[in-house]
Structure 1
């Protein structure tokens, strides 16, 4: 198997970092929006959750945030003249968004999903 040029590895790594950074921002903004709108019920729910040690609370990336992350990664790759596909998965490994760039090979779609899962 032929090793990818360092430029390709740098672009791919940058695209992944951009996707993860935007994903983290989306998860943070999603968790920050619900708290201020209903302060009294939210406080009661948080207090009940604190007492119950059998459940956990987590946030998930929205489709809008995942799409922004994927588009940013695809744009970064296109600036470097790379033909790639980009996939964003949730914390369970389920695919949220997949974008196939113009001219990307048929194998790049599946590879993008597998890399995102890894």
Structure 2
């Protein structure tokens, strides 16, 4: 018959502590995984602390409805002048919210529209103005995802950029930008 050595008190404390920690972490994971989005008692206190400390900021974004309205108004303006273009609306972070490719728009127009919108929101300026800056800073064109050609217009709220509208496919960047501005104007109505 074998003798089983009893665990010492130190071993029991360490083992017990490890089990308690594992249960606590497992419980935490279960609570985190089953969060329903409803506020808990701790959430309002955390929000008050952040607001009081001014450690957070809020940003304004276009709704999908507003982005779609602007994109459609842009495409409509181009179609009134018999232009075949693509339109892109990006959010403040440069992420694409909506794109519309008009009937007969060239295959390159889609990507160009996205890049123009991204460029406009990144610098909070029409891309026609930004293209002029290349004379003094030619390496700007090397920034990934940008396109310094006329056709992009920023959308602002309270002076801050919240979106960009890019258009590509018309015979000139001036026309592209004219159509993008039509989309921006729609948002002000």
The reply to whether TM is greater than 0.5 is yes
What is the TM-score of this pair, normalised by structure 2? 0.37
Compare CA radii of gyration and give the structure with the larger one.
2
1:39-118 alignment, distance < 5 Å:
50-117=51-118
Of residues 35, 38, 42 in structure 2, which corresponds to 1:35? 38
Say whether the 8 Å CA contact 1:77–1:84 is kept in structure 2. Answer: yes
Alpha-carbon distance, 1:100 to partner:
0.1
Segments of 4+ moved more than 2 angstroms: 1-44, 47-50
Listed one character per residue, the Cα deviations across residues 95-118 of structure 1 (whole Å, up to 9, x for unaligned) are 00000001100110011101111x
RCO comparison, higher one (Cα < 8 Å, 6+)? 1
| Stretches of structure 2 lacking an aligned partner (at least 5 in a row) | 119-189
> What is the total number of aligned residue pairs between the two structures?
115
Say whether the 8 Å CA contact 1:15–1:76 is kept in structure 2. Answer: no
Q: Structure 1 stretch 31-40 or stretch 17-26: which is displaced more?
A: 17-26
Q: Distance in 1 between matches of 2:25 and 2:111?
A: 22
> If each structure's strand is expressed as a fraction of its own residues, which one has the higher value?
2
Judged with a 3 Å threshold, the aligned counterparts in structure 2 of structure 1 residues 40 and 13 are, in CA distance, closer, same or farther, namely closer
Partner SS state of residue 86, structure 1: strand
Alpha-carbon distance, 1:36 to partner:
20
Partner SS state of residue 23, structure 1: helix
Alpha-carbon distance, 1:82 to partner:
0.7
Alpha-carbon distance, 1:57 to partner:
1.3
| Stretches of structure 1 lacking an aligned partner (at least 5 in a row) | none
Q: Distance in 1 between matches of 2:55 and 2:8?
A: 49
Judged with a 3 Å threshold, the aligned counterparts in structure 2 of structure 1 residues 43 and 19 are, in CA distance, closer, same or farther, namely closer
Say whether the 8 Å CA contact 1:26–1:62 is kept in structure 2. Answer: no
> If each structure's helix is expressed as a fraction of its own residues, which one has the higher value?
1
Alpha-carbon distance, 1:52 to partner:
2.2
User: Considering only aligned residues, what root-mean-square deviation do their CA atoms show, in Å?
Assistant: 25.9
Judged with a 3 Å threshold, the aligned counterparts in structure 2 of structure 1 residues 54 and 43 are, in CA distance, closer, same or farther, namely closer
